[in-house]
Amino acid sequence: MKERKSIFKKIGYLLMIITLTIVTFTTPTILEKEVNAEPVVDTTAPIIVVTSVSIAWNIYYLYPEDLDTWIAQTPTVIDNVDTGLIATPTYYKINRTTLIDLTEARQEVAAGRNVVVKYNVSDTAGNIAEEASLLYVLHRISDNIEPVIEASGEIVKTEDALTWTAPKATASDISNPITKHQYDVSSDIVTTYFKADDLATEIDLTTARNELVAGRDIVVKYNVRDRAGNVAEVNVTIIAVGNTEPVTAVDNTKPLMIAGALYRTYVNTEDAFTWKEPTASAYDNKDGDISDRVVVTYFNVDETTELADLEAARTDLYTGNDVVVKYTVSDVAGNETIIWKKFWSHDNTVPVMYPVEDTIIAQEDIGTWEAPIPLITENVGIFQMNRSYFKLTGEGLGNEVYDLEGTLAAARQELYNGKHVLVKYFIQDHTGNLIRGHEIFVAQIADPILVDNTAPVIEPVDNATVETGDAATWTEPTATANDNIDGEISNLVVVKYFEADGTELADVDAARAKLIAGITVVVKYNVSDAAGNAATEVSATFTAFDITAPVIDPVDGVAVNPEDIRTWEAPDVTANDNIDGDVSDDIEVTYYKADGTTLISLKLAKVELIYGRSVVVKYNVSDEAGNKATEVSAIFTATTTVPVIEPVEPILPILPIEPTRPTKPTRPTKPTRPTKPTRPTEPTRPTRPTRPTRPTEPANPWVRNVGVWK
């Protein structure tokens, strides 16, 4: 019993020691709190940074092949305290008010309509970031770039040829030449086999292996077609090497050379000055490894202008010019192999903008001030620059809050009011590399009166032609005018009308009357701003174009008395044109039988009237511009008729023509005897004059007239 108590005592002491040890090591250290320290309050909102392809607008291009899997990009969120913040995207139609889901957004873009994605985020302190947005646009640049196949030849031992398979090739396609967006199209590669000496006849894999077993080289062709139908093809040579070199009298096999994997490779301009062409390796069936015999030369993109050295090639790549590298190798027997590799310059070097010095603008210069153009350098030399003006409404230059973008006139007014103006510069090169910069301009106010001595500007109005048929409703084009202070003042433009010689016309109706008459009209536009500065006058000339046909006065048909038929002809008609005036002398008169279609002469028209038949007379005329008047016609008929029997000649029957017999050859004519001299003729007696016949009076005088009328 005592032994048990002793044991329990020892156990109790042990537990006490362990407890004290644990308490000693687990008691926290108490730090004295600083009484005067104030908690830090986070009042800074996060910033949403989106990636776009335009310096002026937040635009992101989508490609048709990506629409099925497209979702809005995840922008970067920067916060002074929190990390890992994610901006929430919401999709809208282009009107920015109609909310849609992702599926509807994909459908909108596929239909060629733009989609706006808005991003919002708040930090843990509740500060709301300024909303960011991206405009997603369907990219319609046509794909005319063929895919690029990556494949290389190899050396195969004859004992391994029966299990040989073609080397694996890969292919990539670029659907857009600007963004260099690549797609893997390796699965679409088609592989075919050919004998080395017959590239026109395709063989199967078994035959290709048998060729290698026999120590003969083969060629493997890789073909691929992209979605736009562009086709690429690469040939690689598979060299068969046996354990025992065959005995050949002449070595005419070209070496196999491999220089990199791709025919074309992109080189970023920012890496151009450290770029070096890929090393080429070469192998010959007789000489073995001859890589040390490879000669490298550099050419311009035309493959004819050789560059001096590697440094010259690097300079070309940096300035946006493509470079072609030529690899040449020859074996001991002189068999030469040449490979060309093209290196495309991809400009990813952003332009450089040198800061604009801080500027204080004098009050008298504010009316004509605009943001200066900074010094900009670009490696390729093609860029665009935009300047945007903003108001500063924050307190101090360290906490700027920018209003919506203002115009230059609004910026000048801000400077006049003694406030700062922020100018943002957006510079983008031809491949989309961009930089953003800004400068703050401060006005020095010496006088509260802003002197405006800058005249407004009227945009030019184009000359035009006016058809006379439309002149009655013609109105001159509206001219647009803008002023540096007053803004657009097109409503103040004064319009006046003049003839070409400078004679002023009363109003637009007078100008219309001139145009109707084919006379040129000059319109002059003038305007002045509120300060009285007059703009440079703008004028436009409007030339009348005659499309109005002349008008022939109508004529009535009348009965023609028989005694007047001999001297009758169509009565005169008057015709007038809006431009040429009286064109009666140009009228063309034609005569027709009663059917109105059979054209006859005036003489035959009189015969028609004699026989009591009607005659149709048609009048036509055209003006100098070729406008043809509406035809006018009249019918004329004799009042009385007298039957006249015209002699009719008998019609003899036509006898058949007998076939002519062939004529006999004529005998040569006998020489003619000389003619006897003729006797002189006696003079003829004069004939007696005939007695005049008495004229007989016909029973009807009309018959006499008919008989002698010509």
| SS3 letters across 415-461 | HHCCCEEEEEEEEEECCCCEEEEEEEEEEECCCCCCCCCCCCEECCC
Who has greater pLDDT, 138 or 75? 75
**Angle, CA 302 vertex, CA 296 and CA 305 arms, to 5°:** 60
Query: How large a percentage of the chain has pLDDT more than 90?
Result: 24
36 phi and psi, to 5 degrees? -85, -10
Q: Count CA atoms within 13 Å of residue 643 on its CB side.
A: 1
Q: Which of 220-229, 519-528, 591-600 has the highest mean pLDDT?
A: 519-528
Report the b/e string of 48-61 with b at 16+ CB within 10 A: bebebbbbeebebb
Q: What are phi and psi of 4, to 5 degrees?
A: -60, -45
pLDDT band at 443 (very low <50, low <70, confident <90, very high): low
Q: How confident is the model at residue 261 (pLDDT cuts 50, 70, 90)?
A: low
CA atoms within 13 A on the CB side of 14: 6
Judging by DSSP bridges, how do beta strands 538-545 and 464-467 pair with one another?
parallel
Question: Per residue in 143-185, pLDDT tens?
Answer: 677 888 888 888 888 888 889 999 999 988 876 655 556 778 8
For the chain, the C-alpha Rg in angstroms (whole number) is 52
Helix (H), strand (E) at residue 621: none
Least confident of 175-189, 204-218, 475-489, 674-688: 674-688
Rounded Cα gap, residues 237 and 255, in angstroms: 10
Nearest to 167 by CA among 155, 184, 182: 155
Q: The pTM is what?
A: 0.34
Residues paired with residue 539 on neighbouring β-strands, in sequence order: 524
**Average pLDDT of the chain?**
78
Residue 693 above 60 pLDDT?
no
Nearest CA to 362 out of 446, 241, 288, 276 is that of 446
Model confidence at 552, pLDDT cuts 50, 70, 90, reads: very high
pLDDT at 671: 54
Nearest one of 230, 160, 152 to 188, comparing CA atoms: 230
Distance CA 379, CA 430 (A): 11
> Rounded to 5 degrees, what angle do the CA atoms 100, 105, 108 make?
115
pLDDT for the residue 559: 83
Residue with tokens 């857009």: 176
Average pLDDT over residues 530-554: 89
Token digits for 165? 């398979």
Contact between residue 92 and residue 98 where contact means Cβ atoms under 8 Å apart: yes
Q: Reduced to 3 states, what is the DSSP secondary structure of residue 65?
A: helix
pLDDT band per the 50, 70, 90 thresholds, residue 436: confident
**Residues 668-696, mean pLDDT to the nearest whole number:** 54
DSSP 515: H
Three-class SS of residue 161?
A: helix
As a whole number of angstroms, the distance between CA 647 and CA 706 comes to 13
Structure confidence at residue 290 as a pLDDT band (50, 70, 90): confident
pLDDT in tens, 232-244: 999 999 988 875 4
Give the Å distances, CA to CA, from 515 to 98, 115, 541, 628: 51, 50, 11, 20
Neighbours of 515 (CB within 10 A): 22
Query: Model confidence at 311, in pLDDT bands (50, 70, 90)?
Result: very high
Contact between residue 152 and residue 256 where contact means Cβ atoms under 8 Å apart: no
Is the pLDDT assigned to residue 459 strictly greater than 90?
yes
Highest mean pLDDT among 30-34, 142-146, 500-504, 665-669: 500-504
Q: Which residues pair with 281 in a beta bridge?
A: 258
Whole-angstrom distance, CA of residue 676 vs CA of residue 133: 130
For residue 264, the model assigns a pLDDT of 58
Residue 195 has pLDDT above 90, yes or no: yes
Contact 175, 228 (CB under 8 A): yes
The answer to whether 437 and 374 have CB atoms below 8 angstroms apart is yes
Taking the C-alpha atoms of residue 641 and residue 11, their distance in angstroms, rounded to an integer, is 168
Predicted local distance difference test score (pLDDT) of residue 477: 92
b (16+ CB within 10 A) / e for 446-460: eeeebebeebbebee
